[in-house]
Structures are given as structure tokens and as C-alpha cells.
Chain A
Amino acid sequence: MSNSMDDVAKEAKAFFIIGSNTTEQHPVFGAMLRQAVRQRGAKLVVADPRKIDITEFATLHLRHRPGTDIALLNGLMYIILEKKWENQSFIDERTENFDEFKATVMNYPPQLVSKTTNIPVEQLYEAAEIIAKNSPMAVLWAMGITQHIVGVRNVMDLANLQMLLGNIGKAGGGVNPLRGQNNVQGACDMGGLPNVYTAYQPVTSDEVHDKFEKAWGATSNTKVGLTVTEMVPGILDGRTHALYILGEDPVMSDPDTKHIRHCFEEIDFLVLQEIFPSETAAYADMLLPGVTFAEKDGTFTNTERRVQMVRKAIPTQGDARDDWWITCQIAKRILAGSSERVRSDAPYSGWEYASPSDIMSEINALTPSYGGITHARIEAGERLQWPCPSADHPGTPILHTKQFTRGKGKFMPIEHVPPAERPDNDYPMLLSTGRVLYHWHGGQMTRRAKGLMEIYGEALIEVNPDDAEKLGLNGKNIVRVTSRRGFIEAQAWVTDRVPPGMVYANFHFPNASANELTHASLDPVAKIPEYKIVAVKVELA
């Protein structure tokens, strides 16, 4: 998030939520938004094909056709320009490439956009007026925007919108992706990505390469590595022979489960560090018991870049070990077996750490935006959001207040592109996937929480009442949903949360996981799969 949850919830005059099921996926922030709407009359526009819970609080719900986000956004920006609601001084002072961008937006007049998105023209005008005339306005999104073959373009178009309205760098505005996992922000910040070291220092830069070569005494090359969506399928074509997986469950979370299973069957060596024998564990050669959050010290970075303490509350269960200890042990053994690899006089070549705080000191030294974020400062009660480059820096709750990272914000002309797989005669309906309030991702934790299972104990597939009638569904029936990759069978939840022609399934339960159906069509830049649009057929099982 460019902003903080607190300033967004307290100071935005309007919210534009697109592709985020906020009250189910970020429930406490969702509750803050409900409060803002109810208690101080903030306006709320929700763009989502599904009638998710937060739409009950919406001033306006745009139920657009899945996969038409760019058309919708360009259409709204067309109206903003037509009505002269743009923030001209922000555009002049802080941005560039406006004319090229405007020329593209002019190709999206309301009538055409209405046809593409299935949103009535009047609603387009109403939405544009709400988001343009209530300033500051905060844009909020999640995987509903990113899990498309145009995920990156979708995000860029949202940035276009916020630059057009001058909603950047101020409390209550901003571009605000809501990060899913507790520490997905931190995993990215810490260089858990194939193209960057910590704090997004690019692997392709010679300067960065030299920095880590000097610091660690050795490092990888300057070529971008493989993403998860390339590594696993890469097992079959020889790109991947071994995987070391820490606390992830690709069999549940990756697209096209049947294919993922097949890949894992063929791998030479798979080591999995986990707390439970997950669905992926069935394919592991080695299973190393790590620990839960309650058994460890360290830090998580939340969606607003806030670094917070995780504190050990109970002893390590069984003969499990701290996850950082296990990684150190493996690293030391690998280096012992390839002793000439690392220059041992490099300041951070070693793997001897006394504690997570000790590891954080090394992070401070090599990570500009985390330079001043120490355990001692957080323990002393300081509330730190990166960038926080030095020990006397107070942290940065709002980004881009004076200028963008690259200087001027660059408007990007973005064109609508249809989704990779569209309903046809064989697979006439559209599936979207996601999670529900009571479960978490692949379900390894929440399926082992008794009360959560009492409330939501099996996969449910959302089916619109019209479709239910056509199918002959009567009450609680089992449906079979089939895509080109596979099929699942589960209880139907007949509900107008989904529009006619669309079903929605989750990936919490191994016996009916939506990822049996999804496909690995990827965004060309981010390599994120298009989970939100899958062509399926639905039948009575």
C-alpha cells in the first residue's frame, strides 16, 4: 500500500474497491471501512462481478463482466476527462506522458464501455462522479485485479486513475493493494523473488551484484531466475531438478493441480520444511519439521509496510526446530561441501546467527529501506513502516508525498485485452476462485481448527439461482464443475452473490479444490496465473 490503513479508513472521502473481497480477506480492515461508511459517511464504490459482503455498504456496486477491468477503468477516466474532473495541477507538476495516455482513454467512450463491461452508462457516470468529486479517494484492490493475464496492466491503469485525480501522496488517497499473506510483503522485501535482492535491488544490476558478492563472499549471476509458476512446470522439461520448499503448499495453491502433481512425481529431490504433512508432502523426499508463529521470534511486515514483532510464546513442539536454524544448517553444509565457493573474509559470508535479531542486523546493513528497522526500536514501542533507511528515521506511513521513486509519475496507455480462456460451447460458464472468511489458503491450518470447520466444514460452490434452476438443482445438491484440466464435485450454495453464468469456488479443501480447474495462463510480466477467469461446465453430479 502507498498509504496506511489508518489514514485511508479515517481520511478518505471515498473508497474505490476493485477486486478485493475486503471484509472476508482482510476482515479487520474491512470492518474499518464499514465504520468509515457508516459513521462518517464516506462514499464507497465497489466494482466486483460478485455481490460480496462489502457491497451492502456500497454507495454504488458496479457488477462488471469478469476480465473487463481495463475497459471499466478507461471508461471511468474518459468520463472524468470529459467532465474536466481531472487534477490538472497534479498532472502538470508530478507526471509525464499524459497526452499519449489520454489518446488511449479517448477510445473508451461510455456506450462502448457499457457494452464491454455490461455496466449501464448511467452507472458509469455515477461512479465517475463519486470517485472524482470526493477527494481524497483511495483505491483498494487485491487478487481480483492481479490474477489475470493483464494483472500488471490492471494495476498500471489504477495508478493512471490516481494520478489523473491527484490522489497520490496524501492521507486518504493512494494506490493500495491489500497483501494476502501475513508476511507476503516481507517475503518480497527480503528478496524472496527471482528478479531482486532485498528491498527490490535488481539482480540484473552489476552494481547490486558486486554489492552482494562483496558482502556475502559469493552470489548468483545477473540473470533473472524462475518464478514459482515456471519452477514447478520446469520439472518436466529439465529446468528444475530439486526444490527446497519452506512453508508453501503448491499442490493446493498452484494452478492446474493435476499437472502440478504430475510435475512433483517427476522431481529428483524435493525437501519440504513444514508444520503439517500437507498435500505437497505426499511428493516430498524429505520432510523437515518447522514451527508455527506461536513458537518463533522475528518480524512480519504487513500490507502497509509496517514491520512488527512476532514473539515466541510456547516452546517448540515435538522435535521441530526454528525455521531459521534449519536454513542455516543446510547452508553451512552446502558451503562445507563447496568450500572454494565463498570468500570467507567477506563481512556477511557466514551463517552463525545468535538470534533473529542478529539476522535483522545483517538485513539492516544490506537493505536500504530496512536500514533503520531494528528489533530494539520496535520493542521500544516505535511504529516503523519502510522505507526507514537509518536508525534516526521515523519511517514512512505514506509514499510518494513529494515525488515518485522514478521522479515523475508516468501515465501508461493501457488497452483492454480479453482473458485467456473464455466460455465457449463446451465450457459455457465462467469460474472465479478465491478464499472464504473461515479458511486460509490451502487450508492446512484452518482445516485443523475445530470451530472453523464447524462453521465451514466443506467446499461450497456458489451458483446463481437462475443457473440452479436450469441445472435442476433443488436445495442442497452436489454439482460437478469441469474445466479442460479436471473436475471437482461439491455442494452448491445457491446464491445471487454470483451473477448468472458464473460460479465461484475456493481452494481450501483437497477433495474439491478450485485449482483442479484453473489454468496456468500467466501475465507476461508478473507471471501470475489467471485464476479469476476459467471456462467451465456445471452439471448435477
Chain B
Amino acid sequence: MVNLKINGNLIHVPEDMTVLEAATLAGVTIPTLCDHPDLHPYGGCRLCVVDVKGYRTPMASCTLAVSEDMEVNTHSPEIEKSRKIILELFMSNYHDDGYENGQKQKTQFMHWVDHYGLDVKASMSTKPQYPVNSDANPFVFVDLNKCIQCTRCVRACTDIQGRFVWSMAERGIDTHPVAGANTDMLDARCESCGACVAYCPTGALDNKMSMGAGVPDKVVMTTCTYCGVGCQFELNIKANKIIRVTSTEKAPVNGNHLCVKGRYGYDFVHHPERISKPRVRRYLLEGKKKPVVSEQLTMNMGQWDWVETDWETALDITSQKILDIKSQFGANRIGVLTSAKCTNEENYLMNKLARQAIGTNNIDHCARL
């Protein structure tokens, strides 16, 4: 353990910590942009600079290791002034075209711009340097005019997804992220996991499906419907519609990371082909004999027509047919396929239905398929 003073308060922290981590532990918020706890430190944005007694210049706290008897001042007037200048420099090269973004709240960059009292319109660059929406990826919206070269996208792709799509190109004022050898993202083998969007602090990378969708009425943490990893995420809901999925460090398995289906594969929920009412074949409603299905499929007419019906009718016919078949052929001539997509509670009931209500062990699901 190491003893150091942050803003006059003595604290004890493990020796492998950075000053930024120690300050966070002590409840002191140091403004950051390029830093993220999930990513390897970069020390590029300089917003997290602090005064350290005995050092000639302010130091980036995100890359500075703690040491014994260190005395740190995180919010001296000079440091605060220097942070404001850093933000002004970022703003002088930042251009917001005025569109509504795909974020659920103010970006981290805009938070600090507001915090340090900068006027966005007055301080930003008057014209864009890059085309807006410059990549064809169906999920990731790219607007490099909002990029502050923090490289969080580069590190998210490298450290988290392990795909190496992004890197930084050019020098000086022209420095900007490029996908692959300056191609588009999918050509650069992007898997559209959206990690670069999730870690981008400025909205330079954004959720294309959510552009203009606005602020959610509520967010609901739930578990993904696709694979067995069990990622959790927040469904952002507005007017009873999913407007985006956001990842969160609170998710036990996946933290901030998701895959393309988890983050962007949600629009099927609102697809117009959803079955909205029970449907029954006409022959059942009319109490007729089942037609020969192989002859019906091509024509789809008459007794094999779908008819929408109410729940009472649908449930009565269903259970009566099951009872009829049971009394005619026995319970073991009925099969139940439960669902690996449904909940434990629903699967339990299907198991109870098969065994208790019908009386058969003919129950299975797609575990084998």
C-alpha cells in the first residue's frame, strides 16, 4: 500500500494504482475524456491533468502511478484554467451539424464543455472538415467532425473486441480515425459489435438505428434473447417502442460489451409480421374434417384458410382437440415441444402441462438441434 495526499486528504491505496484511480477511490471526480476503466490508458486528451508537488508541469493522472508521500492537487485554479483551454482547443476543431443524435443522454464531451461554461455554438468550428455519416455500416453512424482524437474507438476495437478495425491516420489537425487502410468499416472486417460507439465520448461514432430517436421515457435492464452467454443490457423505451440498446458496466457477464445481434438486432420485436391475434384454420371453426394438407398448401383456400379468432375460441378448440386425441389414442400420442427461447418459468409450466395435465413424458425442445 502507498500513502498519498489528494487535495490535502491522506489516503492509502494499492501501489499499482494510477493517481486517477486513487482519486476516484477517494471520491474525487477528475474530468476525463480519453480514459476509460475498461481500456488501456492513453494519456492523450490531457483533461485529467493534476498538480503534483515537486513536478515541474501538470501531469496526466490517468497514466501517472501513485507513489509514497505524493501530494496531488486535482482542482487548483491553474489546472481548472488549463482544462478549459483544452476543451476550447477541442471545440475549435469540432463541428456539430445540428442533427439529433442517437444517444440516450448528453455525451461525456458535452458534459464537460457545459461544466466549464463553454458556449457550444460560439466555440465550435464554423464548418465541417469531413462528410457527415461517412460510413455505410448499417449500425454505426460516423461523423468525424465530432472526433477529438481520444482513440477510445481504436482501443475499444483492439482491447475489447479484438478486431483491430480502427486506427489513427494523418498528423496534426488532420489526425482522425480510419477503418482499415482508409476503407469502410465492413471492408475493414468490422463485426458491428458497436463497442466503438459505446466507448466514444463525443458522438463521433453513434447508433445509426437510433439517430433522431430522442431521449427514452425509461430504460429497462434485461437479458439478451439470442445466445447462451447471457449478456444483459438496457432497452431504451420511448412511447412503448425500443429505440436503442445501451450496454452497462452493471451487466454481470458482459459489462459494457455486446455483439451485433444483442446491440442492434432488436427491430424484429416491432416487425409488422408479428402475429397479433389467434389464428385458426377454417375447418376447425366450422367443425369440419381436416383437409388433406399437402393439397392445401399451394392453394391456401377454403377449409385450410387462416381465420383470426378470439382467445376463448382458440383456447377452447386447442384444449378440446388435445382431449379428443388423448381419449382416442392415449396421452403418449401427444407431444410437447417447449422452447429454449422462453423463460424458465414458461418451460417449467410446459413440463407440468405435459406430465401432469396431459400425462406424457413426450416433451423436448431444440437442445439437440
Contacts and interface: CB of A to CB of B under 8 A. Distances in A.
Nearest to A204: B361
Contacts of B270: 317
Given A313-B237, A324-B345, 9 more contacts: A212-B356, A285-B280, A289-B275, A308-B252, A319-B311, A335-B357, A444-B268, A446-B265, A450-B138
A391 interface: no
Which 6 residue pairs are nearest across A and B when measured between Cβ atoms?
A: A302-B230, A318-B276, A225-B361, A298-B343, A34-B162, A247-B339
Given A192-B350, A242-B325, A303-B228, A219 B355 contact: yes
30 contacts: A28-B259, A179-B228, A180-B227, A182-B223, A182-B230, A187-B367, A192-B339, A192-B364, A220-B331, A225-B354, A228-B365, A242-B322, A250-B337, A276-B268, A276-B271, A289-B277, A297-B343, A298-B343, A304-B253, A309-B223, A313-B222, A320-B274, A324-B349, A362-B348, A363-B344, A446-B261, A450-B267, A452-B264, A455-B192, A529-B368
Given A190-B351, A285-B280, A320-B274, A182 B265 contact: no
Interface in B147-185: 159-162
A238 B325 CA distance: 12
Interface string B191-214: 111000000000000001100000
Contacts of A328: 349
B145 interface: no
A318 B275 CA distance: 8
Interface string A401-442: 000000000000000000000000000000000000110110
B6 interface: no
Interface string A104-135: 00000000000000000000000000000000
Nearest to B330: A241
Interface in B245-262: 252-254, 257-262
Contact of A269 (B191, B254, B322): B322
A527 interface: yes
A269 B275 contact: no
A289 B276 contact: yes
A103 interface: no
Interface in B311-341: 311, 314-323, 325-326, 328-329, 331-341
A333 B315 contact: yes
A57 B162 CA distance: 9
A299 B278 contact: no
B261 A306 contact: no
Given A225-B363, A239-B333, A183 B293 contact: no
Contacts of A193: 363-365, 367
Interface string B215-236: 0001011111111111110010
A299 B232 CA distance: 12
B235 to A, nearest CB: 4
A455 B265 CA distance: 12
A446 B341 CA distance: 14
**Size category, B interface:** 35 or more
B189 to A, nearest CB: 9
A242 B321 contact: yes
A383 B253 CA distance: 10
Contacts of A239: 332-333
B105 interface: no
Contacts of A147: 368
A29 B229 contact: yes
B325 to A, nearest CB: 4
Contact of B344 (A203, A223, A307, A342): A307
Contact of A184 (B228, B259, B290, B353): B228
Contacts of A294: 222, 225, 235, 242, 266, 269
A274 B275 contact: yes
A314 B231 contact: no
Nearest to A439: B261
B362 interface: yes
B337 A244 contact: yes
A85 interface: no
Contacts of A299: 343-345
B185 to A, nearest CB: 11
Interface in A292-330: 292-304, 306-315, 317-321, 323-324, 326-330
Nearest to A180: B228
Given A241-B329, A320-B274, A327-B353, A334 B319 contact: yes
Q: Is the interface of B mostly helix, strand, loop or mixed?
A: mixed
B340 A182 contact: yes
Contacts of A450: 138, 267
B242 A314 contact: yes
Given A192-B351, A240-B333, A302-B228, A247 B341 contact: yes
Contacts of A185: 228
Contacts of B325: 241-242, 268-269
Given A285-B280, A299-B344, A182 B227 contact: yes
B229 A302 contact: yes
Interface string A469-484: 0000000000000000
A309 B345 CA distance: 11
B268 A446 contact: yes
A184 B340 contact: yes
Nearest to A254: B369
Interface in A366-417: 370, 383
Given A239-B333, A246-B337, A288-B314, A27 B360 contact: no
B359 A341 contact: yes
A298 B345 contact: yes
A220 B277 CA distance: 32
B227 A228 contact: no
Contacts of B271: 276, 448
A534 B193 CA distance: 33
A374 B28 CA distance: 37
